[in-house]
Amino acid sequence: MMQKKSFPIAPLVTMIAILLIYTSCNMEEPTPMDLAAASLIPKPDSLTATGSSFELTADAIIYVQEGSEELLKIGQYIANRLRPATGFPLEVLPSEKIPASGNIYLSLSNEIEEAEEEAYELSITEKGIKLTATQVVGLFRGIQTICQLFPGRIEENTLQAGPWKIATGTILDHPDYAYRSAMLDVSRHFFPVEDVKRFIDLLAYYKMNYLHLHLSDDQGWRIEIKSWPNLTTHGGSTEVGGGKGGFYTQEEYAEIVQYAQDRFINIVPEIDMPGHTNAALASYPELNCNGKTPELYTGTKVGFSTLCTDKEIVYQFVDDVIRELAALTPGPYIHIGGDESHVTAKDDYIQFINRVQNIVHAHGKLVMGWDEVAEASLESSSIAHYWAVADNAQKAVQQGAKVLMSPAHKAYMDMQYDSTTHLGLHWAAYIEIDSAYIWDLESMVEGIGKENIIGIEAPLWTETITNMDELEYMVFPRLPGYAEIGWTATSDRNWDEYKVRLGKQKDRFEAMGINFYESKFVPWVSTENEVIDSKNN
């Protein structure tokens, strides 16, 4: 007869306990989610949705392919972006193989479809997030996409309620143009290092890769030049309206450059000349034809100043400035301005630009200049920065040079949105959000096509902009649109579809603390319903 077995209660309890612990650690039941409905800006090149979700949980680890300090650094960057709002530890570890479920994995590979340096491939499954690129910069761009896929509150600096789910699928992405930039005029009003860093973060978020700093103008010289110290001690001591101005020491400037580099953004420094030079002329009498020093200038007129282009000391001055600036510039370009030199005789202007072009080359850099520089003999490596006169841009292209596009009536972020905007100017146009978006680089100037254009820049002149709040109001929400014009192919862009994606950025703007213009042409919606703000707790 078979003996009746007693029921093994102990192992069963253990099993149930294990099961309970297991399920409580893995509560991330996938939910149906549609990656195609994600409101990414700039819009990626291609996207395939697989209809499910991945949940980032407290035990997630950010693994990076083994053997590279740079990859560990980029792993830390995404961890730092995700930690404050999630409250998760998000340890960053090297791994030789694709890790187990629940994690983020960053790696480099030559196998991805687009070989260009900023391209990336993002694959999200229920099991994890895998980001691959041929170069680290591609991973950095892809990280911005990952952040934008999470709810907008991921951008808060304080602990927020989860769950942190993102839709599954694949994104293959790369930029249409290699040059996507914004400009900040720190001369008309000075902006301290912290403000410039925040601006850099905002550019990085939309995958922009250049920041042009307008470092000198009639109203102020903002970068320390050790061989000509009075440029900043005197020339940097005021600004529009007579405020106290300011300048960056070379150490501070290097800090900005490094901060930008860490976000894969190149700084393009501009010294505007031979016009727009009153601050320099007021600091050194020998740069003036009459040898006298003018007063510092705090108004907003343009076109009244010029370096004395036939004095040798002026070229010594330019050489010293470019030498010191080139040493602070890891990127390829130095911007020499060249705009609105209304009191420089044309022949003098041409020979000046030609000589300065040589000086820039002698210091190992390439020339960028506002479109007027096309009056001179441009090298094919030089860039004409189109802002106003189509004829100049065409002249540059006829000389074999390329063009950077900043048409004032479309891309100037200091232009008012409409006649009620309390900041900004409107000499070129009122630029509402739709107008800022509905144009393309290839059909802006007759005879200048994609092969002649390096990309887009959206400048912010600061005659009327005095602080970060005002800056953000003019820049947002136009900036994401400019980023998309540069990144996303023209044939893939459409205002009616874009404005819906833009409207869904509201929570994100708010989470980032951005003071933005709530244009009535955008269908703003909140996609949040459970924001926990520790400030209110």
| The one-letter amino acid at 131 | L
Sheet containing 91-95: which strands, arranged edge to edge? 46-56, 164-173, 120-125, 128-133, 103-108, 61-65, 91-95
Instruction: Return the number of the residue (190 or 370) whose C-beta is nearest ligand TNX.
Output: 370
DSSP state of 27: -
Backbone angles phi, psi at 119, to 5 degrees: -70, 150
**C-alpha–C-alpha distance, residues 326 and 187, integer Å:** 19
Q: CA 299 to CA 148: how far, in whole Å?
A: 42
3-state secondary structure 250-304: HHHHHHHHHHHHHCCCEEEEEEEECCCCHHHHHHCHHHCCCCCCCCCCCCCCCCC
Beta bridge partners of 459: 183
Is the CB of 63 or the CB of 461 nearer to ligand TNX?
A: 461
Q: Which two tokens stand for residue 418?
A: 């409409």
Secondary structure class of 345 (helix, strand, coil): coil
Q: Which is nearer to ligand TNX, 304 or 315 (CB)?
A: 304
Nearer to ligand TNX, 155 or 185 (CB): 185
Measured from the CB of residue 258, what is the shortest distance to ligand TNX in angstroms? Answer: 28
State the nearest-atom distance from the C-beta of 412 to ligand TNX, in Å: 6
Cα gap 334→357, rounded to integer Å = 10
What is the closest distance, in whole angstroms, from the C-beta atom of residue 297 to ligand TNX in the complex? Answer: 13
**Which lies closer to ligand TNX via its Cβ, residue 467 or residue 534?**
467
Q: The tokens of 405 are what?
A: 């596009």
Q: Find the shortest distance in angstroms from Cβ 410 to ligand TNX.
A: 13
In the bound state with ligand TNX, the residue whose beta carbon lies nearer, of 226 and 342, is: 342
Q: What angle in degrees, to the nearest 10, is found between the helix axes of 478-487 and 193-205?
A: 50
* Cβ atoms of residues 442 and 450 within 8 Å: yes
Cis peptide before 523 (omega within 30 of 0): no
DSSP string, 420-473: T-SSSB-SS----HHHHHS--STTSSTT--GGGEEEEEEEE--SS--SHHHHHH
528 is catalytic: no
User: Which is nearer to ligand TNX, 164 or 461 (by Cβ)?
Assistant: 461
115, burial (CB in 10 Å: exposed 0-12, middle 13-18, buried 19+): exposed
User: Which tokens go with 284?
Assistant: 């050194």
Between CA 312 and CA 271 the distance in angstroms is 18
CA–CA gap between residue 510 and residue 504 (Å, rounded)? 11
Which residue reads 């940097």 in tokens? 236
Which of these is catalytic: 340, 379, 442, 528? Answer: 340
As measured in angstroms, the least distance from the Cβ of 490 to ligand TNX is: 24
Q: Nearest distance from residue 335's CB to ligand TNX, in Å?
A: 10
Q: What SS3 state is found at 39?
A: coil
Q: How far is the CB of 385 from ligand TNX (least distance, A)?
A: 8
Q: How far is the CB of 429 from ligand TNX (least distance, A)?
A: 11
Q: Which is nearer to ligand TNX, 87 or 303 (CB)?
A: 303
Cα separation, 204 vs 182, whole angstroms: 11
Least Å from the CB of residue 104 to ligand TNX: 43
Residue 404's nearest CA partner among 366, 440, 441 is 441
- Give the number of C-alpha atoms closer than 13 A to the C-alpha of residue 91, restricted to the C-beta side: 6
**Interface residues with ligand TNX (CB under 6 A)?**
302, 339-340, 370, 387, 412, 414, 425, 461, 463
Please say which residue, 45 or 414, places its beta carbon nearer to ligand TNX.
414
Which residues are catalytic, by number?
340
